[in-house]
């Protein structure tokens, strides 16, 4: 069973990024970014937990929030939000019954102008 919960600060951050047009519609290899543990750890060392955690739509409340292991479901490449990542998060959250995260991803997709997010 997954302990992931919505990272509300990241949701607000993503809304701000989309509003300020720091968003790229479509592609990225979300699985590759999601699995880049070394990159996440380096970012946490460089930028600190607070800033780094804003790029992950999920948090595991059972883990230390000052570590990269507490965060999952990246929303982009750490400079832009990707609608492809949001679509992948929506599908992943649906498959794993993480409905608060799924609904957040849907709201962000709608804000970004993506209406057909079934793909």
Interval 37-80: pLDDT, tens: 666 666 666 665 667 889 999 999 999 998 888 999 999 877 88
- Cα separation of 38 and 16, whole Å? 27
Please tell me the predicted confidence (pLDDT) of residue 51: 76
Please tell me the predicted confidence (pLDDT) of residue 116: 61
Residue 27 above 70 pLDDT? no
Q: Which of 22, 118, 116, 104 is nearest to 59 (CA)?
A: 104
Please tell me the predicted confidence (pLDDT) of residue 24: 83
Predicted confidence (pLDDT) per residue in 95-115, tens digit:
999 999 999 999 999 999 876
Task: Give the CA distances from residue 14 to residues 20, 23, 78, in Å, rounded to whole numbers and listed in that order.
Answer: 10, 9, 11
Question: Rounded to the nearest 5 degrees, what angle is found at the Cα of 14, between the Cα atoms of 21 and 82?
Answer: 65
Higher pLDDT, 71 or 118: 71
Please tell me the predicted confidence (pLDDT) of residue 99: 96
């Amino acid at each position: 069973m997954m302990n992931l919960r919505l990272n509300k600060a990241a949701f607000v951050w993503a809304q701000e990024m989309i509003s300020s047009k720091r968003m790229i519609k479509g592609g990225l290899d979300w699985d590759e970014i999601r699995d880049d543990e070394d990159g996440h750890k380096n970012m946490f060392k460089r930028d600190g937990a607070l800033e780094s955690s804003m790029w992950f739509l999920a948090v595991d409340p059972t883990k230390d929030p000052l570590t990269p292991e507490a965060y999952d479901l990246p929303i982009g490449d750490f400079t832009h939000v990707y609608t492809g990542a949001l679509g992948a998060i929506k599908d992943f959250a649906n498959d794993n019954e993480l409905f608060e995260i799924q609904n957040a991803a849907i709201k962000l997709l709608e804000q970004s102008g993506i209406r057909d997010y079934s793909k």
